[in-house]
Structure 1
């Protein structure tokens, strides 16, 4: 007889793949510890997630669809890769839904993203504890939300403030660029107690890493890279948000082919699960020199 799950946790990431994937990896680590997980995210996300292979992952991780409310300011959207626009207003409109959803799901613990700043207050009324899971590392958060930036007369910080180190910080070549300012102001404007409780713990250290044992493609990739001279391979990836059109896809492929160098490319499907076509005969002509993958790959580990 299989052992019963130790606990049931509810995971709620912000609907952007840069957030969804780390939460998905966290769900697998929790299942490894015998904890059942309900993963709450828009249903269109489910087919785009890496597949689950291990029996205990399949039995302990379940997916609950989340429908974002339609509001006048936004078209219908499910993730930030569907529409490159802010979804915060739609996400905030979910608050009444959680008043009825939490009693039904009855989680032992809720693990949420920074945009669900209003969730702990709702969960408290049902006696459910919450934990904020940050996909951002502690160093970058310390630079961004040091008290000098979020309190007193200096708030909200100006573009000039954010492109220089806070007082008392060592000078650094790492800094925010002026074009980051609007997005960061949006982040800092969240009236959230979570902004004072960012956590980074070693037991979550590998939560955002891909389980290499579950991906044959990853093993194939590493095997190929290990056989190449150091710094000889060009890595080509445009992230989870960017989608190339047909002309751009052709241009990148032609450039890689004519360069003559080894390369590793990662392609992402459109929001409808369709890939732009590669030039005729491209894969055959670069065989042995180039690899193209059409699934999510652990970029940091590569």
Structure 2
């Protein structure tokens, strides 16, 4: 493709370079859409196989282009894959190896495009030095909440220069952490955090990549705002001694033409307003057989209608997995009241349906925001990584949702834990926690849907980046 070069330095020109996972690509696209609507020129880097999908969600704009990248061959990586959604965990680690081999390709593109900034992701810690040598500024864009950065990926997380933390240390915040509702993690959550400090293929671990990127970049962009995470933002600033610019929660906009398909719309139409539980864990978070069984039984115990989406790794057949994992006789017992689907569904449109009143999810923050803005009471069942901290933020600091109770050592939950969490926000709405959660949920929904507030965050961001780049408004 023909690449549009920078002919004038009067408009801010940004290169967007996310990691090749749609959990990372989507926030970069959403931010690109917000910025391009304010006159910012965008050059969006991604693997060739991702281009068509990205173009369907990237707003068409004469100043926006998608630049295809060639992923170098690495033994063990399949040809023509789109993202980590098509890779197993071993292959996903090899993707970071391939990314490191792309440095000459990226350097040539930057020389040709001459952007003001490269906005990069956690795995490209080599970018700041490359860009600096070319006279280009860099911004590390953290697609995770500021709490996640503050708790896990700050210099003070290490107790000594060459000693990574153990499980017991990861249960507690690092030195100097602000006084908030986040005081201690469960053992199974801390054990999951150990992945951050594990090296694969003699490459830097995730923690080292993130720290290097945050320390090397010109500025840090955070997908948050002071109203939601002020103490954590200030802590990150104190740790890295550089500007932390806030982009807000980047609430996705649904076009009026994006109607819910008839099959699911008709099914939802038969139920009363705010009575249906929608349950989904995204495309890259998978439950094991025991978890599926307890979840299904818990949904059944609520005696409420539910729409359950269950996905499985690419090498598994969904119908076979469901048949094995679901409790015996379950589908017959819930017929007419519950449906189970696999694969992609119109999540935003389903959440916006008048009959949906509860969203049970894994706590991915984009999903949490979608639940909040669509007036669906949040029940969270985090399964890995930043999801645990997202849930602490929402259920603790924001008090806008509940988390399913889990056993400390191994994270086990049972059907009664599922029922209890849902009941607290769907049935006990005039008492105790249910009432306060609904009040807080409405407060945050109103805040997130206040277009003037969200637009000001983006406008301020553009002005601040122009100032760093030396562009006069």
User: What TM-score does the superposition give when structure 1 sets the normalisation length?
Assistant: 0.73
SS in 2 for 1:133: strand
Rounded Cα–Cα distance in structure 2 between residues aligned with 1:131 and 1:258: 47
Distance 2:252 2:55 in 1: 9
| Structure 2 equivalent of residue 172 of structure 1 | 183
- Which of 273, 291, 301 matches 1:228? 273
Look up the match of 2:255.
Answer: 213
Higher relative contact order (CA 8 A, sep 6+): 1
| 1:95 Cα deviation after fit | 0.9
Q: CA deviation at 1:141?
A: 0.9
1:27 maps to 32
Provide closer, same or farther for how the CA distance between residues 73 and 296 of structure 1 changes in structure 2, counting only shifts above 3 A: same
Distance 2:20 2:304 in 1: 36
Aligned counterpart, 2:17: 12
Q: Give the conservation status (yes or no) of the 8 Å contact 2:306–2:337.
A: no
Residue of structure 1 in register with 2:362 after alignment: none
Distance 1:275 1:11, change over 3 A: farther
1:11 and 1:74 map into 2 onto residues whose CA distance is 24
Structure 1 unmatched ranges of 5 or more: none
Residue 240 of structure 2 corresponds to which residue in structure 1?
A: none
1:238 to 2:263 alignment: no
- The Cα of 1:104 is off from its aligned counterpart by 1.9
Change (3 A) 1:182 1:198: same
Contact 1:42–1:67, Cα closer than 8 Å, also in 2: yes
More helix by share: 2
Q: Distance in 2 between matches of 1:124 and 1:211?
A: 35
Superposed displacement of residue 49, structure 1: 4.2
Distance change >3 Å, CA 64–CA 275, structure 1 → 2 = farther
Q: 1:68 aligns with which of 66, 71, 95?
A: 71
Deviation of 1:257 after TM superposition, in Å, equals 11
- 1:80 aligned onto 2:84: yes
Give distance in 1, aligned partners of 2:221 and 2:66: 25
1:110 paired with 2:161, answer no
| Cα offsets for 1:146-180 (capped at 9, x unmatched) | 33323634622223322333345456244533133
Query: Residues 269 and 291 from structure 1, CA distance in 2 versus in 1: closer, same or farther, beyond 3 angstroms?
Result: closer
Distance 2:336 2:38 in 1: 41
1:94 Cα deviation from its structure 2 partner:
0.9
SS of residue paired to 2:112: helix
TM-score, normalised via structure 2 length: 0.49
Q: Secondary structure at the match of 1:71?
A: coil
Distance in 1 between residues matched to 2:192 and 2:286, nearest whole Å: 21
1:299 aligns with 2:344: no
Q: Deviations over 1:34-63 (max 9, x none)?
A: 112111111222344483486xx3433321
Contact 1:37/1:61, CA 8 A, preserved across alignment: yes
Q: Following superposition of structure 1 onto structure 2, how do residues 247-258 of structure 1 map, counting pairs within 5 Å?
A: none
Q: Secondary structure at the match of 1:164?
A: coil
Shift of residue 215 of structure 1?
Answer: 6.1
- Cα separation, 2, equivalents of 1:296 and 1:66: 30
Label 1:108 to 1:75 Cα distance change in 2 as closer, same or farther (>3 A).
same
3-state SS of 1:241 partner: coil
Worse overlay, 34-43 or 75-84: 75-84
CA distance in 2, matches of 1:50, 1:262: 36
Residue 85 of structure 2 corresponds to residue 42 of structure 1: no
**Shift of residue 205, structure 1, vs aligned partner:** 0.5
Cα deviation, 1:200-219, whole Å, max 9, x if unaligned, reads 36451032x31123662479
**Which deviations, in whole Å up to 9, do the C-alpha atoms of 1:61-87 show, x marking residues without a partner?**
321112221123544444211113312
